[in-house]
Each structure stands twice: as structure tokens, then as C-alpha cells.
Amino acid sequence: MTTLRAQSGAAAVRTLIVVALVALLGLIVYLARAVSGGPMDFAERGTAPAAGYSGADPTGVPAELAGASLTARGEYLTRAADCEACHTSNGGQRFAGGRAFVLPIGTLFSPNITPDADTGIGSWSDADFLRAVHRGIARDGTRLYPAFPYASYTYLSDNDVAAIKAYLFSLPPVRAVAPANTLAFPFNQRWLMALWSSMFNPDRRFSANAAMSPQWNRGAYVAEALEHCGECHTPRNLLQALNHRKKYAGGTIDGWHAYNITGDKESGVGAWSDSELAQYLSAGHASGHGTAAGPMAEAVDVSLHYLTQADIDALAAYVRSVPAIASSDVPARLAGPAPASHSQGVTAGIDPRGKEIFEGACVGCHGWTGVSPLTPYATLIGARAVNDPSAMNVVQVLLDGERRGNDPADPFMPSFQGAYSDTEIAAVANYVVARFGSQPSKVTPEQVAARRQQARSSGT
């Protein structure tokens, strides 16, 4: 009798502990969601239910393509969703995967998404594909890492995902197997991503906001479901999910600073005109605001550049509606042109080798004032990168080089990776930021070395 009672007592305690743990987990999930919010939560939803929206359908392709074939519509959407950037390795075939994502926890490689039956996704059904893009679950049921931005793609309509698949399946299959991931324990435990998803993937399709205009709704769909701007420009929480409460306030990606693009007039893009913003998005350059480099240049080249003007305008209008947030890591004021004479201007505290290199290797294209004598693309004045005291992007541009457009006649920034030591790259970066920015930087040779190491591991 006594042992029986003791046993049922122990069972009750166990049940209680399990219930308490489940409740605690539920509370954590609830809090995590509440704290991070949704990407469009900032907008007034008004009193009208979503069904009260009577404007044009914000999903799908622009009007010009409404009558086009399924694959042509899929091509537009695949470009707009920028699948190519992540699923193509440096110099590799489009969509054949193998691009490295170097994370603090190890390296992850993107898989082949060409229609090859053995090494790609050729044997995937529409339902398999839909589940992967909306929920981050592979064909065999394993969980995918959120480096694949399914928490954004979850807002894509089923029809649009089907069109993307039709386009990918219209391309030639490529046999290619991505290298094995090198993630350390416990991060190699894919099932953990099921927990992550329950907290941070809303698994919800886009629904129009009846309180906002049709243009805003289209812009929201393009920005959130397709272009996933927030994946780079919104800061992340400890669990690597986007913190939508600081929407677009600036983030880091692959060693680059993706600046604040909220409406803040000083640290964001609040002082840019509508046409400057639209121009920067479609061409990667706006007069007086520098030129897009690195991950942003890639987004422009393989994705944004292909959007119709109406979609670019909708996107810009949506970005403008995001509430202003001031960032403290970039100065409020952008510096104006530097003195025309090289003997003037800031040099105190800077390795003299910086000026020497600038004079020998840079001034021809960038000028002593920072206003390029050759091309507006190379004008440094007004660029956020040279007004960023971390000088992160300046170092990246120096190591990688940069090229706008595909025309060989287009002006380009050469790579100085092989030409200079870590100390020299640091010196010239600090010189450029001191001369053309509003606050000096203190890049160290060690930081340059770390960036080179990262570039080596990711093969860029």
C-alpha cells in the first residue's frame, strides 16, 4: 500500500514537472515572439479587417507580366527573391549551390537547387518545395537553418512559390554536391531548428493591410516576402532572429555593416529624396550617397536591378514608412568635401603610410577632395561607409574590389588584397575615413587579418 502510494505520488510529481516544463517552454515561445514582433507590426492596421482591402493584389508579378507564362513570372519572382545570390558559389553555375556561409559556430554551405534529380531538387514535389520555402523543412523532413531566410519567405503566396519552382525546373540540371557543413555541437543538431521555427517563423502568408494604400501593400510584399531587406538591415536577437522592434535600424552580414535604413534623418535614410532612394535601389548608386558595395551590390546586380520601376517605387515608399530609429554607432553628420590640397586635412594620429598609399594608388580615381574627377560612382563624399568609424565596409571594399554593372567599360574599384599588407590596408582605411568622414576610425592590422581569413574560408 505505502509503496503504491509513494509510486503514484512520484508519478504525480513527474507529471507536474513535465507540465511545468511545457508551460515554461510555452511562455518562452510566447515571450520570444512578443519581444521580436512581426516585420509589418509597425503599420497601423486600422479597424478594417484584411478582407476589407479592395486594392490590387499585392502578391504576384507586376501588371506588365500578368499575361506572361508561368516560367516568365517565376523568373521575375526568383530574381526578386534573390535566390541566386545565396545558391551560387563564386564562379560556380547559377543555383548549383556550394556558397559558404561562415558563421561563428562553423561553416554552412547552400545546397544545389537546380532540377538535377540526384544532387539537386529535381525529384521534389510542389508540396516538398512549398514546405521548404515556407517552413524550412527539407524533403526528408530534416530542419533547415534560418540562414535560408524562410522566416521571410513564409509570407510568399503559394502561387508565387509554385511559379519560382516552375522557373527553377525550366533551367538545365547541374550535377553538384555542396561541401559538408562544419557546424560544431550543439549547432549541428538540426532538430533544434524546429524550436527556433516555433518561436520565430510565423508560418503565415502575406495578407494585405486595408488601412494602407495598394502601393504600400505591394512595397511591403516586395520588401518582406521577396527581397527580405530585413535579413541584413534589421538587428538580430540572441537567438539570431530578427528583432522587428528595431526594424531596419542596421545589422551586420558577412563582415559588412548593413546600415540603418529607417526614416531617421541623421543615421538613416530620412534625408534622402524619394528618387535618390529609388535610384540607389535599382542602380546601386545615388548621387551624394555613395555606391553600393558587397552584399548590397550583389542584391542590386542579381535582384533589385530587375524590378520594374513601379515595384522599385513601391519598395521605396514602403521603406519610407518604417518609423525612424536613431543609431549611435554612426555619426549623425556626414562630412563634406575635403580640402583640395593634400597638405591640408586630418592626418594627426594616423600612420603616414596611409597617406602615402592614397597618394600613390587612390587619388587618381578618388581625388584629394573625395569628389571623383572620373565618375560619380567613385565619389567618396556622402557615402555612409566612409563616415562609419568602424571602417568595416571600407576594409571590405579595399580587399574585395567592387564593380558596378556588367559592362567592362564601367568604372570599377580594383582589389588591393594582394598589393598591401594588413598594416597597410589598415593605414589607408584609417586615412580615408579620417580625411573624408566625420569621425576617425581605428582599424587594426589584426582586424584586417581576420577579414582576410573569413574571405579565405568562404572562397570570396
Applying the rule CB under 6 A, the residues between 282 and 321 that interact with ligand HEC are: 289-297, 299, 304, 315, 319
Q: Please state the closest distance from residue 45 (CB atom) to ligand HEC, in A.
A: 22
Angle between helices 422-436 and 445-458 (to 10 degrees): 110
| DSSP summary character for residue 428 | H
Contact mark string toward ligand HEC, 117..146, x via CB under 6 A:
----x----------xx----x-----xx-
Q: Taking CB under 6 A as the rule, does residue 200 contact ligand HEC?
A: no
Report whether 383 contacts 289 (CB < 8 A): yes
Chain-centroid distance of CA 194 in Å reads: 23
User: In the bound complex, what is the minimum distance in angstroms from residue 407's beta carbon to ligand HEC?
Assistant: 12
DSSP state of 225: I
Distance linking the first and last C-alpha atoms of the chain: 72
Q: To 10 degrees, what angle do helices 158-169 and 126-135 make? A: 120
**Binding flags for ligand HEC, 245-284, as an x/- string (CB under 6 A):** --------x--x-xx-x-------x----------xx---
Candidates 208, 317, 381, 383; binder of ligand HEC (CB under 6 A) is 383
User: Smallest gap, in angstroms, from Cβ of residue 168 to ligand HEC?
Assistant: 7
∠ CA 248-273-325, nearest 5°, is 25
195 binds ligand HEC (CB under 6 A): no
Site for ligand HEC in 339-358 (CB under 6 A): 357-358
* Binding residues for ligand HEC restricted to 65-94, rule: CB under 6 A: 81-83, 85-87
In this complex, which beta carbon is closest to ligand HEC, that of residue 347 or of residue 375?
A: 375
| Phi, psi of 101, deg, nearest 5 | -115, 105
The nearest distance, CB 428 to ligand HEC, in angstroms, is 5
SS3 (DSSP) at 337: coil
Dihedral (C-alpha) 239, 245, 246, 248: value to the nearest 10 degrees? 100
Query: Which is it for strands 106-109 and 251-253: parallel, antiparallel or unpaired?
Result: unpaired
Number of residues that bind ligand HEC (CB under 6 A): 79
From candidates 176, 225, 386, 399, binder to ligand HEC by CB under 6 A: 386
User: Using CB under 6 A, which residues numbered 28 to 57 contact ligand HEC?
Assistant: none
Which three cell numbers mark 377? 560612382
